[in-house]
Amino acid sequence: MKRIIIALLGLGLNFATAGTMPVSRGTDTSRAQKNVAAEKLSRALPLLHEGDIIFISRKHPLYRRFAETSRSWESHVGILLRNSRGAWTVAQSTIPVSNVVPLDRFVGASDNGRFLVRSLRGGLSADAVGRLRAATARRMGVVYDTGFNYDSPRQYCSKFIFDCFREATGQQVGRLETFGDMFVENPGAPVAFWRAWFLGRIPWERRCVTTTSQLHSPNMVTVFDSETARGEEAGPYSRAIATSVKPIPSARR
């Protein structure tokens, strides 16, 4: 409970980075960044499919620290789905509870409008998309876990992705590891920050799943990277629809 209170106080007005509250965009810098994000997003839209996952870099220090711990740029991830009007939205686990937000707001919350979209190799069948949609719906309104404990009834963004895809497709997106594993892999991780965050004692054996393990998950391919304006190949984007939950050898030709 103490950790949740700390998180809520610390993140307060920054809930808008998850699209849950409006934020003032009055400065020229904010407007410029928003325009950059919109321009990048416009190039990605023709390539998107339901069930793709999208990574961004959240602006709050907590998420920066998590990215620093896993030695990567991204710190948040969500699932792309269309709403009843056909508009793109993102289902996500965020503070205070999981929700669905418009895609442009999700991307606009990222540093410099940076985002990256990935898809399961082979894509998803219509049935698989339906199961994924149902899996996300069942997890709406769940309280965010600021302790990043995979075995907790609460959830966080990468756990949300991991559980939804495993339930809907039988595939794991990312991998389970312990806090100890992460610090062994990155000796330069901010130990002092996490010791303070966990009130003096880091739970080294606690299982978690990170956005970085999902960013590099071998059963996924990159659809669009806003930094390069391309996917994993220079040629036109293509994917065959998977009819099985087993990984497909190649999603692009």
pLDDT digits (tens, 9 = 90+) for 151-207: 999 999 999 999 999 999 999 999 999 999 999 999 889 999 999 999 999 999 999
- E strands, 83-145, where? 88-92, 99-102, 115-120
Say yes or no to pLDDT of 80 above 70: yes
Superfamily of domain 2-12+49-225 in CATH is endopeptidase domain like (from Nostoc punctiforme) (3.90.1720.10)
**CB distance 215 to 55 below 8 Å:** yes
Q: Can you read off the two tokens belonging to residue 5?
A: 């209170």
- What is the band of 141 on the pLDDT scale with cuts at 50, 70, 90? very high
The confidence score (pLDDT) of residue 27 equals 60
pLDDT of residue 39: 86
* CA-CA-CA-CA torsion sign (22, 24, 29, 34): positive
Q: What is the pLDDT of residue 29?
A: 58
Question: Worst-scoring range by mean pLDDT, 23-27, 96-100, 144-148?
Answer: 23-27
Q: What is the pTM of this model?
A: 0.81
- Give CA–CA dist 55/114, Å, rounded: 8
Percent of the chain with pLDDT over 90: 66
Q: What is the mean pLDDT of residues 99-109?
A: 95
CA atoms 145, 177, 214, 136: torsion sign: negative
Question: In this predicted structure, what is the pLDDT of residue 231?
Answer: 66
Between 33 and 179, residue with greater pLDDT? 179
Q: What is the mean pLDDT of the chain?
A: 83
SS percent in the chain: helix, strand, coil, step 5: 40, 15, 45
Rounded Cα–Cα distance for residues 143 and 148 (Å): 12
What confidence score (pLDDT) does residue 75 get?
94
- On the question of pLDDT at 87 being above 60, the answer is yes
pLDDT at 97: 98
Quote the tokens at residue 104: 């442009």
- Asked if residue 149 has pLDDT above 80, the reply is yes
